[in-house]
């Protein structure tokens, strides 16, 4: 009698487990797969391809494609759009807390939404781009090497109502260090672009060296230059991965041969912008402006770094430069320049 009850119980457990597995497969993987294959425009208020599904695609595409080479595909347009997006105070607060603005930044009086914050909103779309079978490069080992950001209007405009996000592949280029791809990101409201950025990613060859990346033509004014020393603890890599929503946590601990955790490029960029705003004033990061950034290599943690900021203002334009380097060796991790028109010229 006892053996019969045990058999019935085991059968029940097996049935329940099978039904649960089938439900999870359908709701988590199959539904996401159908959405990913059949849609290019997604509503942020509805179901999006899930993180587990995208992680699976990330691993699959990483095994299927070789790093540093470009697969031959048709020239189909690769673009994803997210509509009906809304301002999220919680994500902004988390971004500000990790990027140097302070946990209370969104609640402060007369404080603009940080310049780099919109890029955080594109995390899911960028992931979908690099995990697509139409993407010609392996998603594994992609490095941010350059970025050109344009701010047409104040980022605060995104708080006034619904807005849309679009990520689009522009072009691929074969270079000496591997293959580069330009991905343009655009945040718009009422069909008017407010913020845009062209992010250049590199799929490196095995012989890639960080010092092979060319520098920007940047001149720092020694008179106006300010140096800020910062200690970057080990936990920064983990915290930034959680806030910025890294698809693969492995990138935090092993990024192209680095044995210790690293801080991602968006963290480096936003940290420089936060210090620029603190020491040079908020006007230096207000629209209209363009920012050019060159990412040399990731910051391995823990480490002490120095941020150098300087500005050069005249009657028609305002230029500010920034640099992130190692405090001891002065190894450059990031360099960039902000070009802003004067209000008279903009009018």
Question: Does residue 340 contact residue 317 with C-beta atoms inside 8 Å?
Answer: yes
Report which of residues 58 and 25 the model is more confident about.
58
Question: Does residue 325 contact residue 295 with C-beta atoms inside 8 Å?
Answer: no
Distance CA 109, CA 112 (A): 9
Distance CA 340, CA 335 (A): 17
Mean of the per-residue pLDDT values of the chain = 82
pLDDT at 22 over 60: no
Note the pLDDT of residue 251: 47
Q: What is the CA radius of gyration of the chain?
A: 23
Note the pLDDT of residue 259: 46
Distance CA 282, CA 300 (A): 29
pLDDT digits (tens, 9 = 90+) for 196-246: 999 999 999 876 666 556 666 666 667 778 899 999 888 887 777 777 765
Task: Report CA-CA distances (Å) from 61 to 7, 56, 314.
Answer: 43, 9, 50
Q: Are strands 289-295 and 332-341 parallel, antiparallel or unpaired?
A: antiparallel
pLDDT digits (tens, 9 = 90+) for 168-179: 999 999 998 899
Residues across the chain: 347
Distance CA 316, CA 176 (A): 38
Note the pLDDT of residue 84: 95
Question: Using H for helix, E for strand and C for coil, what is the string for the chain?
Answer: CHHHHHHHHHHHHHHHHHHHHHHHHHHHHHHHHHHHHHCCEEECCCCCCCHHHHHHHHHHHHHHCCCCCCCCCCCCCCEEEEEEECCCHHHHHHHHHHHCCCCCHHHCCCCCCCCCHHHHHCHHHHHHHHHCCCCCCCCCCCEEEEEEEEECCCHHHHHCCCEEEEEEEEEEEEECCEEEEEEEEEEEECCEEEEEEEEEEEEECCCCCHHHCCCCCCCCCCCCCEEEEEEECCHHHHHHHHHHCCCCCHHHHCCCCCCCCEECHHHHHHHHHHHHHHHHCHHHHCCCEEEEEEECCCEECCEEEEEEEEEEECCCEEEEEEEEEECCCCCEEEEEEEEEECHHHHC
Note the pLDDT of residue 48: 87
Question: Does residue 325 contact residue 288 with C-beta atoms inside 8 Å?
Answer: no
CA 121 from centre of chain: 8
* Neighbour tally for 256: CB within 10 Å: 16
Distance CA 280, CA 70 (A): 43
Mean of the pLDDT values across residues 299-327? 85
For 314, the token pair is 């005249």
Percentage of the chain lying above the pLDDT 70 cut: 76
Mean of the pLDDT values across residues 282-301? 88
Distance CA 225, CA 228 (A): 10
pLDDT at 8 over 60: no
Tracing tokens 């020239």 back to the chain, one arrives at 75
Q: In which band, very low, low, confident or very high, does the pLDDT at 55 lie, cut at 50, 70 and 90?
A: confident
Dihedral angle computed from the Cα positions of residues 93, 279, 281 and 225, in that order, rounded to the nearest 10 degrees: -140
**What is the reported pTM?**
0.85
Out of 189-203, 207-221, 247-261, 282-296, pick the least confident.
247-261
CA 272 from centre of chain: 15
Question: Does residue 291 contact residue 338 with C-beta atoms inside 8 Å?
Answer: yes
Question: Does residue 249 contact residue 283 with C-beta atoms inside 8 Å?
Answer: no
């Amino acid at each position: 009698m006892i053996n019969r009850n045990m058999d019935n119980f085991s059968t029940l457990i097996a049935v329940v487990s099978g039904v649960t597995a089938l439900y999870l497969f359908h709701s988590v993987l199959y539904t996401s797969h159908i959405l990913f294959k059949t849609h290019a425009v997604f509503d942020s208020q509805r179901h999006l391809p899930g993180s587990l599904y995208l992680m699976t695609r990330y691993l699959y595409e990483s095994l299927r494609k070789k790093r540093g080479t470009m697969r031959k595909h048709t020239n189909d347009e690769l673009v994803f759009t997210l509509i009906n997006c809304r301002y999220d105070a919680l994500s902004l607060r988390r971004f500000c807390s990790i990027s140097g603005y302070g946990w209370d930044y969104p609640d402060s009086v007369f404080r603009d939404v940080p310049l780099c914050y919109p890029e955080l909103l594109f995390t899911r779309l960028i992931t979908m781009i690099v995990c697509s079978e139409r993407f010609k490069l392996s998603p594994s080992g992609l490095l941010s090497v350059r970025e050109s950001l344009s701010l047409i209007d104040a980022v605060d405009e995104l708080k006034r109502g619904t807005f849309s996000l679009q990520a689009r592949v522009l072009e691929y280029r074969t270079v000496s260090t591997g293959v580069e791809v330009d991905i343009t990101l655009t945040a718009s409201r009422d069909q008017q672009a407010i913020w845009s950025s062209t992010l250049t990613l590199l799929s490196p060859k095995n012989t890639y060296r960080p010092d092979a990346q060319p520098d920007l033509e940047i001149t720092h004014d020694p008179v106006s230059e300010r140096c800020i020393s910062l200690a970057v603890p080990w936990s920064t890599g983990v915290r930034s991965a959680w806030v910025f929503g890294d698809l693969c946590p492995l990138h935090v601990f092993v990024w192209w041969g680095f044995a210790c955790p690293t801080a991602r490029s968006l963290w480096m960029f936003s940290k420089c912008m936060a210090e620029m705003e603190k020491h040079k004033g908020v006007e230096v990061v207000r629209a209209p402006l363009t920012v050019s950034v060159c990412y040399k290599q990731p910051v391995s943690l823990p480490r002490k770094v120095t941020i150098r900021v300087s500005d050069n203002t005249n009657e028609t334009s305002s230029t500010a430069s920034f640099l992130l380097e190692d405090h001891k060796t002065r190894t450059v991790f990031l360099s960039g320049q902000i070009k802003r028109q004067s209000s008279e010229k903009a009018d």
